[in-house]
Structure 1
Amino acid sequence: MKEVPPLHQDPAGGAVGVRFADWAPPVAWMGVIFWLSTDAGSAQQTSRLLMPVLTWLLPGATPLQLDALHVLTRKAAHVTEYAILAALWFRALVRGHAGSAPTVAWGALAISVAWAFADEAHQSFVISRTASLRDVAIDSAGVLAVVLVGRRGWRAAADAATTVLLWTAAVGGVLALVLNVSVGVPSGVLWLTVPAALLTLLVRRRRARAS
């Protein structure tokens, strides 16, 4: 079974446990997630920030469409924040232990998913928030994606994540353009971002073939 080598050792050659510089980032990020699960991250608060942006991006969108995009953006934020948490814990455990790759991956997965449950439990005590097992599942999807990809190496993980984001921007953008054109809604900046995503995917594919 493949072993994950420790990236720092003591003078005698033994592996050193997780250092402050390693575990501080994931713990700090857990604090950020905890703060976002207060009223500061409620739908009412995020709508004040996101709605003007969405209105600017899609000036012809109806209120119902904007509300749907607001919800989708919030769910995407769930995936993102827990993907980051899993990545930080994966990094900390890799740098602090010489265990097998599956052990490190399971450790990052367990810590991150446990925090997702704790986060939702915390929201049950906040008047403007609601605890949801569905959100735990969404959070866990982000965690699982990072852990699975992370086992392949950080460079490969970053490359895979970039590819997923580009395909999401391209496919989602094309669908949005088709929908907007069909109902006569201006698409604004989508006319720039969609071609850019498609062109980037084409360039990356050609480079991959050349190498």
Structure 2
Amino acid sequence: MPHWLQLMVDSLPTLLWGGIKFTIPLTLLSFALGLALGLLTAVTRLFGPVPLAMIARFYVWVIRGTPLLVQLFVIFYGLPSLGILLDAFPAALIGFTLNVGAYTSEIIRAVISSVPKGQWEAAYSIGMSWRQAMVRTILPQAARVAVPPLSNTFISLVKDTSLAAAITVPELFQAAQRVVATTYEPLILYIEAALIYLVLSSVLSTLQVRLERRFARYGGMMETNR
């Protein structure tokens, strides 16, 4: 077996373990919390009182206007100067959650705004409250439109978690860096890490296509029932 292939085989368990233990949990938790934060931010900007809407707008402006890596450094390396000490994983989780929340809030705000006003009026005409109209009528329609961009955000997040290596989270990419430090074979190990990310992204892209088709069929059934 060639040396480069043997090295990739030997290092694969270490890289996969970093992915299973840190990359995947960090991705799932950050996206779930970020999506909830994004929904709250979007609803606040669309329907909240002016002061809260301004705060939400400022949060989105700051996060979208600064690099993710800088945000992680501020949280992990900067906050200790204020007496706020965070371990690497919680710091990364907070950073990715805030970042995902800002970007998904723009997606959610756009898709909610795209629902015709007649849908609100129809919901109110049958006695629904604002909350019932939002949950039962508006969000289900908005969800179909939001699936592609939110899926793209999730796939991007999988790759962005590699930035957590910069604040010492031992995820997939930092696992590769540690192996490089002992083998002195950066090209082989970094290509292997890239291939693992590529496989993950390809699998998620396939799942995205299937999810979009399912929502398309569901949407077609709703239109037929009308």
In the superposition, the TM-score normalised over structure 1's length comes to 0.38
Where is the helix percentage greater, Structure 1 or Structure 2? 2
Q: Which has the larger radius of gyration?
A: 2
In the superposition, the TM-score normalised over structure 2's length comes to 0.36
